[in-house]
A and B are shown apart, each in its own frame.
Chain A
Amino acid sequence: MPKLSFTPALKRFFPDIKEAQHAGNTVRELLDNLEQEYPGLNSYLRDETGALRQHINIFIDQSLIQDRIHLQDQLKEAEEVLIFQALSGG
């Protein structure tokens, strides 16, 4: 099971979220499982069609996910899933 990591922006809205291992064979399964634990997380990360929102992206280990729409990237061998978001400040 990959370890979930995230940049601090998520913590702002989900203060209880923990960097821990979560089950899921694909990114989509992982996010669906996370939703059970942190209700509302998915609507922050994904739009109404289920695709990642424009300002969100996900690394699986050292690779950016390929499928932002259906989130079918595989997590079988993954050690870490990092969720991060675009920052606009200067």
Chain B
Amino acid sequence: MSPEELKRYARHFVLPEFGRAGQAQLKAAKVLVVGAGGLGSPVLLYLAAAGIGEIGIIDDDIVDISNLRRQDLYTDADIGRSKVVAAKERIQALNPHIKVNIYQQRLNIENVLELIAPYDIVADGTDNFPTRYLVNDACVLAGKINVYASIFRFEGQVAVFNYPNPDGSRGVNYRDLFPEPPDPEAVPNCAEGGVLGVLPGIIGSMQANEVIKVAAKVGEPLAGRLFLFDAAAFSTRVLKIPKNPAVQIQSLEALATYCAVPEQDYQEIDITTYQTWKVNQVPHLLVDVREPNEYEIHQMGGLLIPLGQIKEKVDQIPRDLKVVVHCKSGARSVSAIRILQNDYGFDNLWNLKGGILAWEQTIKV
């Protein structure tokens, strides 16, 4: 360690359980952070500050203004930029003594094993079930420790999965808790259900704490246990997770369908084409399927029908006119189109590619 690093990490050295040995372990550690959002923000800041030697960041998203309320890795000036590029700049500025690798892509069944291979620990801060099961199963197959955290509204969960036991076997994983993945539609995400802004800061810091403990081999990791936090009641619990003998993870094949990006079964229009429709006054109706609170903040003049009300308000959608459906980034609008096409036989719908985010980006330029 350089003299500058010795000064930087001085407060770790004086921790008797940590010392220079613990710091050297951090410097030697390689951690992949999956998702640079709410949880990824504090995780990346604390891991970089603590001196984790090599940090990988994977995320395919761009910074949106609605992220800034909780994703404190980014600033106003980052809006519209790649998250991984902005995150790397920020944590490299915080600590120039670490190596940062970025991957602007989505984890999938084909790339996951290759991407996690160079790392010792994976910190799972993704925002969807398919990626969570993918990270879990890949960590089990590749023998990586999975430091897991998740949040929703006022609730948070933290655990350390697949931690090595003294006898060489591995500890419990996410499937010991929830054996089979749920239908993603059955459980709302933070964009639909909301999340308390400070919650990812609390839970992400706990996740970072576990990564640092595991990497430095300090303390008792949260392995075989599940931490539950309810911010509204300020109640916490730590519960033991038993091994479920029925859980067998032998390949990623079981996730092939669950994680597959479904084939495009709808028409799509990009922003440039949509602009020409507007300029040429092509008759159409724009429908916005976001929530009313999102609509209040910014909108494109569409008719507001939140995704959850699409069935009861189906009569408001014409069948004899082109209808362009949009949401924030294009995911909920596809769900709306699928419902309208499959259940009600609409054939006049176009998905606005990239949603209002893409529209604002183009308008800015």
A residues near B, CB below 8 A? 7-9, 12, 53-55, 57, 59, 62-64, 68, 82, 84-90
Q: What are some 30 contacts across the A-B interface (CB < 8 A)?
A: A7-B228, A8-B153, A8-B155, A8-B230, A8-B233, A9-B152, A9-B153, A54-B179, A54-B183, A54-B186, A57-B178, A62-B239, A63-B240, A64-B177, A64-B242, A82-B239, A84-B228, A86-B177, A86-B187, A87-B150, A87-B151, A87-B157, A88-B132, A89-B38, A89-B127, A89-B193, A90-B35, A90-B38, A90-B126, A90-B151
Q: Are A12 and B187 in contact (CB under 8 A)?
A: no
Note all chain B residues with C-beta closer than 8 A to A57. 177-178
Q: How large is the interface on B (under 10, 10 to 19, 20 to 34, 35 or more residues)?
A: 35 or more
* Interface status of B195 (Cβ within 8 A of chain A): yes
CB distance from B319 to the nearest CB of A (A): 33
Q: Which residues of A contact B125 (CB under 8 A)?
A: 90
**B155 lies within 8 A of A55 (CB):** no
In the bound complex, CA of A89 to CA of B35 (Å):
11
Contacts of A64 in B (CB 8 A): 177, 239, 241-242
User: Residues of B with Cβ closer than 8 Å to A?
Assistant: 35, 37-40, 124-129, 132, 149-157, 177-184, 186-187, 189-190, 193, 195, 200, 228, 230, 232-233, 237, 239-242
In contact, A86 and B155 (Cβ under 8 angstroms): no
User: Within the complex, what minimum Cβ distance (angstroms) separates B310 from chain A?
Assistant: 19
CA distance A84 to B189 in the complex (A): 16
Bound complex: CA A15 to CA B184 (Å): 23
Q: Tell me whether B178 and A86 are in contact (CB under 8 A).
A: yes
- Cα–Cα distance between A12 and B228 once the two chains are bound (Å): 17
Complex contacts, A87 vs chain B, CB 8 Å: 150-152, 155-157, 187
